[in-house]
Amino acid sequence: MIAWFAKNDVAANILLAVIFISGLYVVSNHIPVDLFPEFEQRSVRVTMSLPGASPQEVEEGITIRIEEAVQDLEGIRELNSSSSEGSASVTIEVEEGYNVREMLDDVKIKVDAINNFPVDAENLLIQVPQWRRDAIGVVLYGDYDPITLRRLADTVRDELAAINEISQVEVGGTLPFEISIEIQELVLRKYDLTLEQVATVIRQNATDVSAGNLKTEGGDIFIRSRGQAYNADEYANIPIVTTQDGTMIKLGDLANIVDAFEETPLKTRFNGMQAVEVEVFRTGDESIIEVTQAVKDYVVAKQSQMPEGLSLDFWRDRSEPIKARLATLSTSAWQGALLVITLLALFLRPSVAFWVCLGIPMSFMGAFLLMPVFDVTLNLMSLFAFILVLGIVVDDAIVTGENVYAHLERGENPLDAAIKGTQEVAVPVTFGILTTAAAFLPLAFQTGRGSWYAAIPFVIIPVLLFSLIESKFILPAHLKHVKPRGDKPASKLSEIQKKVARSLEVLIERAYQPVLARAMQWRYASWVLMFSVLVIIIGSIASGQTKFVFFPRVQSEVATATLVMPAGTAFESTDRIVKSITGHAQALREEYLDEDTGESVIRNIYSVSGGRNSTTGRVQIDLVPPEKRTVDVSTREVVNEWRKRVGQIAGAEQLNYRAEIGGWGGSPVDVELKGRDTNALNELGEKLKTKMAEYAAVFDIEDSLSDGKEELQLELKPEARLLGLDLNTVARQVRQAVFGFEIQRIQRGREEVRVMVRYPLQARQSIETLEQMMIRIGPNQEVPLWQVADVIPGFSPDSILRVDRQRTLSVTADFDKKNGDLTLVQSELNDWLSEQLGQYPGVSFEMAGEARDQEESSQGLIVGGAGLAILIYILLAIPFKSYSQPIIVMSVIPFGLVGAVIGHWIMGMDLTLLSFMGMLALSGVVVNDSLVLVDYINQKRLEGVALKKAVFDAGGRRFRPVLLTSLTTFAGLMPLLFEKSTQAQFLIPMAVSLGFGILFATVITLFIVPLNYLILEDIKRYFRGYGKDMKGLVKGKNAQS
């Protein structure tokens, strides 16, 4: 095949063109652009509503029943649930190796079989959670009332959804519409009505009824009545009752009808003004850049049409960081490519260097062609993978081209040189590519946070395989056109090449080979010296002198302050504090101002008070990306100053600040306390928070349980039963009056509007009015609530968390990784909790968050490393046809890891998860040079060359390709290694491991491989001699006997 393609230029060029054009078409049309890769959600979520119910009622009526139904399903990794006011959520996490879709079907069967859910339970939803792919937010803000803002936002939503590039738009930062029909108790008594009777009449009159078809000669005519009401006026005209004098009493005569939002306090502000947000999402293969640009164009055109006092703007443009990160990595990529080409031009003839470099775009286009097959998008990780492989992809072409070049230098015919030069190194090059591809394979099977890097092998492996195709079938067809130098006058580049070549020869003959000869003479002492370096480096890691931060954090462009006030805090108080926090952010906005441009580092401030919980608030500040800031301040400095100015909030349960990306898993410190005794959980939780506070690096400590909210519990009096009342009858009448009686839901445009009948708000604001509520016991018979039931005050938790069917209290905290050792703190907390459990029988704990992620990722690395070592051994044993020689090649791997650690020292960086992933990949890359070296020694020995001469000559002959492949790999990574932008920081550790590991391993390879080859032969000779001596000894004894 190699010879056939070398002789057939047309076939080689067509193959090149097909791959290049196909890849170009796919990357232009079928690969979406994302910030981070998406991966499969390995969980099934069940949600259900029970309007007006407390968390305990939800837990008992819904959550526990779902847990009991699904608990025996095979493949459940963990069962998590949350019961909050009016809703339940149960998440079934699926074990690796089990099909999530099959689990979804099994869960549906189990949950659908439950027949004892509460009567009012609704909205059962069973699904695999999907990633929300936010694109950009559009905000309407100004001095307008919330209802007007909402209706204008609906218009904006509809107009955005009509744009071709946009398919999913939602209105956020507001509440659902609700029609509340409020009737006073005195009015009901006046007309001898109950809320339930009023609701029944409304249902009967406010409806559309189909009456069938009228069969006529001209065709069928559809008959229906149209009585459905859609707004307050239409409901007001519904007749309710007729008095004795014939007067028709309509609903509007009885009730105050409010057509507004749900009765939930909520205030959303943008830059200090009332606001509503319209969120735009990316779906399918839509390009986030095209989606956001379409939104921006719409906003610019729409701004001039806004009424006076109302503004329209966009924020949280997710394409902005994507474009910045892709630009950064693209710059690193072309700079690296330029360095690679320059190096090749210095060591090889320009024509040879050109054809070798052609393999880079061709291999990349081949990878683009396969990316949709593996469901890989163009994102931070996939582009990083292209940079990683940039210098590696030419390794096979370098070895092939350098060998062809050597044949040309010896005066061979170009075609023969191309064929022979390619065939001679075909086996080591092929298996070298396979070992490199195998090195990245374990990344595809990482779990926990390691799964974020799964896209890397699905880019690198196709690149390497297409590179192999190019070097075997396309490169020889091009290299045969390289002509001998002849007598043509030398160019300046040729002169430079000659100087480089002479310098390299001097380096080999006067430096490398004399040292190699001495090392071969003293091979055992030399080996011990190298092994000692290895032991010292490993010892530094084990002793903690080399700092290890498993999950580094990188600053984001969005900072968030989250506030939680105690239960019972008035919404007005919470909102006042949120405005205060916003005010301090506004002051920072004015302080961090560029005097020349007038632009601030802080672009926008968005705040939310209330919502589902009236005691919570959130303030977000949107910052200019770090690389675009004209004011010298980091996100961390902005947040620290913000935190300092806000200070301590009196009475606040929690006030936390976050401004980092990279924390895709749990919190740095996260402890789950489990047990049935809630008091014991709370007590141990408080002690744990006190213990955490002793560490200076631990901050923003919080737990999952608050004081909850006040509740009133009804306890039936004995007199009630004498009147024929039971607790269910009393509770239901109270629920209808206070929470409301849902009579119907109507579809109004896109909105589903709930219609409620209840007491007026003023009748639902005090215990006294509740106790005076009349309970009906029969026709024209009623008694006040206080006569039949006691109203007992108490507390209900905001939410109840359960893990594996046990109530769980989660205590979390943030951690300053620059000034503390997270692993040490986690270990000490683990020991402290183990001691405390003796005082709390029935309570257990588990380290969650980053500790759990770290354990999972570590196990993945260990298993992946072991599997990789076996796979590399097999791939080396096959071409060598030897059980021992793969050990020679693989002996360089530990020294590559030493180089990786030294690289982190030089760069002043901590070791991270990505560092170890880089070391894993390094294991397959560093064996390539060893493979080529050992293969050359074997070839020379087959030709009859003496052992030591073959080993010695191999070092000199393969010095140039070994050095060149290592330098190109490092050169390809060099721009990224020294990149200062924020978006590149958490990727750099992997590049450091690979780049510096390759450099260090190159030096070691040129010495350790020859030494190990000789030592292995010494061992073989020893055992062969020992075997002969033993045979002679046995023969001698037999002769004597």
388-439 tens-digit pLDDT: 887 788 778 878 887 887 788 787 888 888 888 888 888 888 888 898 888 8
pLDDT at 663: 46
Assess if residue 575 is contained within a domain.
yes
**CATH number, domain at 114?**
3.30.70.1430
Q: How far apart are CA 68 and CA 97, in angstroms?
A: 23
Tell me: do 475 and 344 sit in the same domain: yes
Tell me: do 741 and 639 sit in the same domain: no
Whole-number Cα distances in Å, 873 to 755, 918, 924, 994? 71, 19, 10, 20
> What DSSP line would sit under 715-763, residue for residue?
EE-HHHHHTT--HHHHHHHHHHHHT-EEEEEEEETTEEEEEEEE--GGG
Tell me: do 167 and 285 sit in the same domain: yes
Q: CA nearest 275: which of 620, 635, 749?
A: 620
pLDDT at 1038: 56
**CATH number, domain at 268?**
3.30.70.1320
Whether residue 711 has pLDDT greater than 80? no
Whether residue 38 has pLDDT greater than 80? no
Tell me: do 73 and 212 sit in the same domain: no
pLDDT at 1034: 54
SS3 state of residue 247: coil
Whether residue 448 has pLDDT greater than 70? no
Q: How far apart are CA 848 and CA 80, in angstroms?
A: 13
* Per-residue DSSP letter, 512: I
Q: What percent of the chain has pLDDT over 90?
A: 26
223-239 tens-digit pLDDT: 777 788 889 999 999 99
Least-confidence region, from 439-453, 620-634, 771-785: 439-453
938-965 tens-digit pLDDT: 888 888 889 899 989 888 888 888 888 8
pLDDT at 33: 79
Whether residue 265 has pLDDT greater than 60? yes
Tell me: do 605 and 502 sit in the same domain: no
Tell me: do 340 and 472 sit in the same domain: yes
Tell me: do 464 and 497 sit in the same domain: yes
Tokens 């390619």 belong to: 422
Whole-number Cα distances in Å, 509 to 84, 266, 506, 804? 77, 80, 5, 69
Contact 792, 817 (CB under 8 A): no
SS3 state of residue 312: strand
Tell me: do 966 and 942 sit in the same domain: yes
Q: Which two tokens stand for residue 592?
A: 């961090």
pLDDT at 553: 66
Assess if residue 1032 is contained within a domain.
no
Assess if residue 1035 is contained within a domain.
no
807-817 tens-digit pLDDT: 888 898 888 87
pLDDT at 662: 47
Q: How far apart are CA 44 and CA 106, in angstroms?
A: 10
Q: What is the band of 368 on the pLDDT scale with cuts at 50, 70, 90? A: very high
Tell me: do 865 and 932 sit in the same domain: yes
Q: What percent of the chain has pLDDT over 70?
A: 93
Tell me: do 283 and 349 sit in the same domain: no
Q: How far apart are CA 59 and CA 85, in angstroms?
A: 10
Whether residue 609 has pLDDT greater than 80? yes
* Per-residue DSSP letter, 361: H
Could you write out the three-class secondary structure of 366-409? Answer: HHHHHCCCCCCCECHHHHHHHHHHHCCCCHHHHHHHHHHHHHHH
pLDDT at 17: 93
Assess if residue 1030 is contained within a domain.
no
Assess if residue 1040 is contained within a domain.
no
Tell me whether residue 1031 is exposed, middle or buried, using C-beta atoms within 10 angstroms of its C-beta: 0 to 12, 13 to 18, 19 or more.
exposed
Higher pLDDT: 325 or 635? It is 635
Q: What would the mean pLDDT of 443-459 be, rounded to a whole number?
A: 77
- Of 576-585, 877-886, 1013-1022, give the range with the top mean pLDDT: 576-585
Q: CA nearest 699: which of 820, 609, 813?
A: 813
Structural domain boundaries enclosing 559: 555-661
Q: Of 317, 339, 362, which marks where a domain is finished?
A: 317
Tell me: do 844 and 869 sit in the same domain: no
**Total domains, the chain:** 6
What amino acid is encoded at 976 in this protein? L
Residues 6+ apart with CB under 8 A from 247: none
Q: Can you name the residues that pair with 991 across neighbouring β-strands?
A: none
Whether residue 661 has pLDDT greater than 70? no
* Per-residue DSSP letter, 472: I
pLDDT at 484: 63
pLDDT at 708: 62
Residues 6+ apart with CB under 8 A from 771: 784, 785, 786, 791
Consecutive H or E run containing 48:
strand 43-49
Q: How far apart are CA 445 and CA 862, in angstroms?
A: 12
**CATH number, domain at 1002?**
1.20.1640.10
Assess if residue 839 is contained within a domain.
yes
Tell me: do 878 and 981 sit in the same domain: yes
**CATH number, domain at 764?**
3.30.2090.10
Assess if residue 1037 is contained within a domain.
no
Predicted model pTM:
0.76
Give the burial string for 778-810 (b: 16+ CB within 10 Å, else e).
eeeebeebbebbeeeeeebbbbbbbbbebbbbb
Assess if residue 977 is contained within a domain.
yes
In this structure, the number of other CB atoms found within 10 A of the CB of residue 713 comes to 12
Contact 753, 746 (CB under 8 A): yes
Q: How far apart are CA 631 and CA 623, in angstroms?
A: 11
Q: How far apart are CA 323 and CA 317, in angstroms?
A: 10
887-944 tens-digit pLDDT: 888 888 888 888 888 898 888 888 888 888 888 888 888 888 888 888 888 888 888 8
Q: What would the mean pLDDT of 976-1004 be, rounded to a whole number?
A: 81
Q: CA nearest 326: which of 1040, 1023, 1010, 981?
A: 981
